[in-house]
């Protein structure tokens, strides 16, 4: 087993705060509309074992905006369908000259495993219930476009926190940058144990308590099938936790509303709220491109 190549991005939990700040600073210099050939001649392999819209598209646009060649490998239509293992697929991509692998996988820890066997940087694009580091970085970038700093902000995180890799990465990142967070949702999806993830996390059982005075309201996806599996009713979730204009009014007047997507209108939030002035949901998607440009540029620069 090897030490992951320099420039790998496997988690936020183990990423030093100075690296978080460096990526955010670099992202501010990235100009998606003006191609910069920082990755000219480089090959970025996008290895996706799970569905993705935003993450895959924005890593691809980011890589191409930097002049790289991209290769997309998805479960269907590749030898993964024939049973080839993750490691063998990784060795294959490395043998055809990939300089970086961006991996999404349903198993927590899959990017770490790959990184421990290859000489090239591996970027975690979401692994099971573990982490989604690039999402947390683009969320921080988005928050910083609206607020002067993250330290001291009140952030309400509402929804299925237990199953959410976005929540885990955001909690680690926002905690490292000094935000105060309150988690909220049904006990089955937001167990008491979740508050032990980082020091100072609070828990609210009533969504009104979580939102009151918040600077940032971050919603997470809630899957109907998961609720059904836990014998919870969707209408109960909606009645107790769904974000509505009335509930959002309890937050600070300049609060922003976030969601990593895919947002299910009518479930996590009332129909039109995603389009409300406070919503930065589409901005999060847009910001994914410069942030992922920065992540890829850092990966290639550090790997040299």
Which residues within the stretch 251-290 sit at the binding site for ligand ASP (CB under 6 A)? 260-261
Query: Nearest approach, Cβ of 91 to ligand ASP (angstroms)?
Result: 26
Dihedral (C-alpha) 153, 252, 220, 7: value to the nearest 10 degrees? Answer: -30
Query: Nearest approach, Cβ of 304 to ligand ASP (angstroms)?
Result: 30
Query: Is the Cβ of residue 4 or residue 260 nearer to ligand ASP in the bound state?
Result: 260
Which residues within the stretch 166-225 sit at the binding site for ligand ASP (CB under 6 A)? 166, 221
Query: Nearest approach, Cβ of 270 to ligand ASP (angstroms)?
Result: 19
Q: How far is CA 149 from CA 54, 143, 166, 177, in A?
A: 26, 8, 21, 9
End-to-end CA distance of the chain: 20
Query: Is the Cβ of residue 42 or residue 168 nearer to ligand ASP in the bound state?
Result: 168
Which residues within the stretch 14-43 sit at the binding site for ligand ASP (CB under 6 A)? none
Query: Is the Cβ of residue 3 or residue 76 nearer to ligand ASP in the bound state?
Result: 76
Query: Is the Cβ of residue 121 or residue 126 nearer to ligand ASP in the bound state?
Result: 126
Query: Nearest approach, Cβ of 104 to ligand ASP (angstroms)?
Result: 7
Q: Residue 292 is encoded by which pair of tokens?
A: 């992922």
Query: Is the Cβ of residue 165 or residue 292 nearer to ligand ASP in the bound state?
Result: 165
Which residues within the stretch 100-159 sit at the binding site for ligand ASP (CB under 6 A)? 126, 132
In the bound state, the residue with its beta carbon closest to ligand ASP is 221
Query: Nearest approach, Cβ of 269 to ligand ASP (angstroms)?
Result: 13
Query: Nearest approach, Cβ of 13 to ligand ASP (angstroms)?
Result: 16
Query: Is the Cβ of residue 264 or residue 303 nearer to ligand ASP in the bound state?
Result: 264
d(CA 175, CA 198): 7
Binding site for ligand ASP (CB under 6 A): 126, 132, 165-166, 221, 260-261
């Amino acid at each position: 087993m090897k030490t992951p190549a320099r420039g790998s991005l496997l988690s936020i939990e183990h990423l030093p705060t100075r690296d978080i700040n460096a990526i955010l600073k670099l992202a501010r210099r990235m100009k998606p509309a003006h191609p910069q050939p920082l990755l000219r001649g480089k090959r970025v392999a996008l290895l996706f074992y799970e569905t993705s819209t935003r993450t895959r598209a924005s890593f691809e646009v980011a890589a191409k905006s930097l002049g790289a060649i991209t290769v997309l490998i998805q479960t269907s239509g590749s030898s993964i369908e024939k049973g080839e293992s993750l490691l063998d697929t990784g060795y294959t991509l490395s043998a055809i000259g990939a300089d970086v692998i961006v991996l999404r996988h349903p198993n927590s820890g899959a990017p770490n495993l790959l990184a421990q066997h290859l000489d090239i940087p591996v970027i975690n694009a979401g692994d099971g219930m573990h982490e989604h580091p690039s999402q947390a970085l683009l969320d921080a970038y988005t928050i910083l476009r609206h607020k002067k700093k993250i330290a001291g902000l009140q952030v309400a995180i509402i929804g299925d926190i237990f199953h959410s890799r976005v929540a885990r990465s955001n909690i680690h990142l926002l905690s490292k940058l000094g935000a105060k967070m309150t988690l909220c949702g049904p006990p089955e999806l937001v167990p008491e144990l979740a508050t032990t993830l980082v020091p100072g996390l609070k828990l609210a059982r009533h969504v009104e308590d979580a939102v009151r005075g918040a600077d940032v309201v971050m919603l997470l996806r809630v899957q109907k099938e998961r609720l059904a599996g836990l014998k919870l009713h969707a209408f109960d979730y909606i009645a107790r936790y769904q974000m509505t204009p009335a509930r959002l009014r309890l937050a600070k007047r300049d609060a922003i509303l976030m969601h990593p997507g895919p947002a299910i209108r009518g479930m996590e939030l009332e129909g039109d709220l995603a389009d409300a002035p406070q919503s930065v949901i589409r901005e999060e998607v847009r910001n994914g491109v410069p942030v992922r440009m920065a992540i890829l540029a850092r990966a290639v620069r550090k790997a040299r």
